[in-house]
Structure 1
Amino acid sequence: MPSRPAATFPLIAVLGWGATFPVLASALSRVDALNLSVARYLPATAVFVVLLLLREGRAGLRTGGRLGEVVTLGIVGFAGFNVLANLALGHAAPQQVALFVATSPLLTQLVRWARDGVRPRPALLALSLVALVGVGLVITRGRLDGLGQFGVGGLMMLLGVIGWAVYTHGAGRFAQWSPLRYTTLTALTGTAAMLAVSVAADLVGWQHAPAAADLVAVAPQLVYAVLAGSVIAVLAWNTGVRRLGAANAALFMNLVPVTTFAVQIARGYRPGGVELVGAGLTIAALVAANLVTRTRPAVVPVATRGHAAPAGTAVTDRVAVTDPVAVVAR
C-alpha cells in the first residue's frame, strides 16, 4: 500500500485541479475563454522555463530535431485541452466538465489502441461504457429531454479530453527527455498557439481584449489557476507519479470530479439524487478501470530501446518521470 507521504503529492494535484474548474468558471464573466487561457498559461509557462533552465540549462530548450512533434502535441494537447475546457465552461457546469476530465485515463488507453495497436481488455471497454452512462446521468439529470444539454459544451470537452489523451500518450515517445523538459517545450508551443488564436479572435471581434479593470477583478482566480492549478499541481503530480508509479497515481484522477462537486456544493449548489448516482457510477467505473489496467513498471521503455534512461529518472509504464520537486530543491 502506498505510504501516506507519497500519496500526498497526487492528492495535492487533483485537489488543485478539481477546484480549478469552478474558479475559472467564475472568471469567465469578466474575461473571454481564450484570453483567460493566455492569462493563465503565459506566467505558468514562464515558471516552467525558469525551472528547466535551472535544471538542464539552455540545452533543455532544444527540441533535438523533433520540433514538429513538439508543436503538434503542444497544440493538440496542451492548448487544445485548456482552451476547449474554458470554452466548455461557458456552456456546461463545472461539475459536468470535471466528469469528462475523469475519463482521460480510459481515453488514453483507446488512443494507445489506435496508435500502437495495443488493444484494451474487454473489461476496460465495458467500464468505459458504464462511465459514459454515469456522465450522461449527471448532464441530463436522468431525463431524456436533457440529452440536448450534451450540446456544444459536452462536445468541446470530449474533444479536449481526447486531445489530452493524445498528449499523454505522446509523452511515452519522449521517454529520453525529463518530464519537465517535455512539459516546458509543449507548454511553450501550446501557449504560443493560444496567444496567436486569442489575438486573432480579438482582431476579428469574436471576443474582446480584457480591460485592466477586468484583469484586476479576476486576479484572485488567476493567481490560484497559475500557482495552485498549474505550477504546484503539475510539480506535485509528477512527484507522485515517480513515487507511486503511473497506475497508482492515476487512481487519484477520479477525485477531480469529487472535488469539483464539493466546491460547487459549498458555493450553494444542490445536486439531485440522479446526479449523485451518475457521479458515483462514473467514479466507480473509472476506479475499476484503473485497477484493471494496472501494470507493473517496465525496466526499459519501448520508446527508447537501445537508449539509456536519463540519470535521475525512474521508468514507470513506459514513461520516464523525473522528480521536479527534488530538482527545485537542488
Structure 2
Amino acid sequence: MSSHRPLGVAAAVITTLAWGGMFVVAESAFPHVDAVWQTAIRYGAASVVFLALLALVEGRRAFARGPELRTVAVLGTVGFAGFNLLAFVGLRWTTPQAASLIVSTMPMITAFVLWARTGVRPRAATWVTGVVALVGVATVLGDGDPLAVLHGGLGRGDLLVLLGATCWVVYTTGAAGLPDWSPLRYTALSATAGAVVIVAIALVLSSLDVLTVPTGADLAAVAWQLVYVVVLAAVVAVLCWNHAMRVLGPQDGVLFINLVPITTFTVQAFRGHAPQAGELVGVGLTVAALVANNLWSRRARPAAAGTIPAPGRVEAPGRAGRDRSLVA
C-alpha cells in the first residue's frame, strides 16, 4: 500500500486544486450561463462519462436493478442536485473565497450529521474545534470582524453554500449503507440520478421564463469555464478523490480538503483580489481547527461499534475500513 501512497497524495492534491479553482471559474461564467444551467451541463456531461467508465470497468451487471437503486437515486438527488445547485446559486450572493471556506468545513459537518443519524454525541474536542472553525469562517465573512455575522454579515449566499455542504455530507455518509457497491458504481448511478433532477429543474424553470436557456453563443463565450467545471472539477476531481480515499484512507485523505480555500484565495490574489489581514486570520483559524480535530481523532479512534467515526470516515456495518467517502 505504501508504494502507492505518492500517487494517492498526488490524486488528493489534484482534486483539491480543482475544487479550489471551481468557485472562481463558475462565478466568472454566470454572465452567460446561470448557476442552474451550468450545474445541469456540468453533471449532465459528467454522468455520461461516469456511466461509460462504469460499463467499461464493471460491465452490464453494474446496471442491474435492485432495491438499493431507489436509495441511490435519493442520495444522488440530495448530494449532486442539492450541493451543486445550492452552492452555485449561493455564489450569486457570496464570494468564491467564502464559499470555499464553508465547503472546507465538511469534515466537521460530518460529525454532526452522524450525531443526528446515530444519536451519539460528538466528542468534546469536536465541539471545541468546531467552534474555533466557525469563528474562523465568521472572521472571513465579517471582513475581519467575527461578530459582524450577528448583525447581518451572514448572507443568504453563505447559508445556501452551508446547506449545500450539508447535503453533500448526507450523500457521502449515506454510502456506508451500500458496502457491496464500488465507489465508481455509487458515483456513476447517484450522479446520473442527480443530473436528471438538475436538468428537469432547469427545463421547468426555463419554461416558466425564470431562467434563460443558454444559446450556442453563450456556451462558446464560456467554453473554457465549462470544460473546467465538467472535466477537471467533476470527472477528474471525483475519480482522483475516490482513488486518494482508497489509498490514503479517510483520516489522511480528508486533510487535503483544507487546501480548497487556500487554493481559492491564491487564485483570487493572482486575479487582483488580495486577501485582507482579517481574511487570512480567519482562514488560518479554520484550517488549524480542522487539522487539530483530525489529529485528535487519530488519538481517540472509536472503539465501540456505536461510536461516531472521525469526521470524514464512514464505516459500513460489517465492513470496517471499507470507506465510501466521496466529494464532488
Fold agreement, TM-score > 0.5: yes
Shift in Å at residue 171 of structure 1?
A: 1.1
Aligned partners of 1:145 and 1:121: how far apart in 2? 29
Do structure 1's residue 303 and structure 2's residue 316 form an aligned pair? Answer: yes
Residue matched to 2:125: 123
Q: 1:32 aligns with which of 31, 34, 41?
A: 34
DSSP-derived class of the 2:152 partner: helix
DSSP-derived class of the 1:6 partner: helix
Do structure 1's residue 196 and structure 2's residue 200 form an aligned pair? Answer: yes
Aligned partners of 2:211 and 2:137: how far apart in 1? 30
Maintained 8 Å contact 1:176/1:320: no
Maintained 8 Å contact 2:173/2:325: no
Shift in Å at residue 285 of structure 1?
A: 0.6
Match of 2:297, as an amino acid? T
Superposed CA offset, 1:186-221 (max 9, x none): 101100010111111111122111111101111100
Aligned partners of 1:216 and 1:156: how far apart in 2? 29
Shift in Å at residue 320 of structure 1?
A: 5.1
Aligned partners of 1:48 and 1:186: how far apart in 2? 10
Residue matched to 1:156: 160
Shift in Å at residue 304 of structure 1?
A: 4.5
Shift in Å at residue 70 of structure 1?
A: 1.3
Shift in Å at residue 296 of structure 1?
A: 6.6
Superposed CA offset, 1:73-93 (max 9, x none): 111111100111110111111
Superposed CA offset, 1:58-109 (max 9, x none): 2212352123311211111111001111101111110100001001111111
Superposed CA offset, 1:38-64 (max 9, x none): 111111110000000011112212352
Shift in Å at residue 175 of structure 1?
A: 1.6
Superposed CA offset, 1:147-204 (max 9, x none): 4242210110111011011011101111210010111111011000101111111111
Residue matched to 1:328: none
Do structure 1's residue 186 and structure 2's residue 199 form an aligned pair? Answer: no
Match of 1:210, as an amino acid? P
**Aligned-residue RMSD, C-alpha:** 2.3
TM-score, normalised by the number of residues in structure 1: 0.89
Do structure 1's residue 257 and structure 2's residue 270 form an aligned pair? Answer: no
Instruction: Classify 1:302/1:260 alpha carbon distance in 2 versus 1 (closer, same or farther; 3 Å).
Output: closer
Maintained 8 Å contact 2:132/2:286: yes
Shift in Å at residue 321 of structure 1?
A: 7.9
Shift in Å at residue 260 of structure 1?
A: 0.5
Aligned partners of 2:15 and 2:214: how far apart in 1? 29
DSSP-derived class of the 2:210 partner: coil
- The answer for unaligned runs of 5 or more in structure 2 is 306-313
Q: How many residues align?
A: 312
Residue matched to 2:233: 229
DSSP-derived class of the 1:303 partner: coil
- The answer for unaligned runs of 5 or more in structure 1 is 310-314, 323-330
- Report matched runs for 1:1-330 at 5 Å: 3-143=5-145, 144-145=147-148, 147-294=151-298, 303-305=316-318, 316=321, 318-319=322-323
Aligned partners of 2:287 and 2:315: how far apart in 1? 31
Maintained 8 Å contact 1:44/1:227: yes
Aligned partners of 2:77 and 2:38: how far apart in 1? 17
Match of 1:123, as an amino acid? A
Identity %, equivalent residues: 46
Match of 1:108, as an amino acid? T
Aligned partners of 1:320 and 1:18: how far apart in 2? 22
Aligned partners of 1:241 and 1:145: how far apart in 2? 37
Shift in Å at residue 145 of structure 1?
A: 5.0
Aligned partners of 2:62 and 2:266: how far apart in 1? 40
Maintained 8 Å contact 1:178/1:321: no
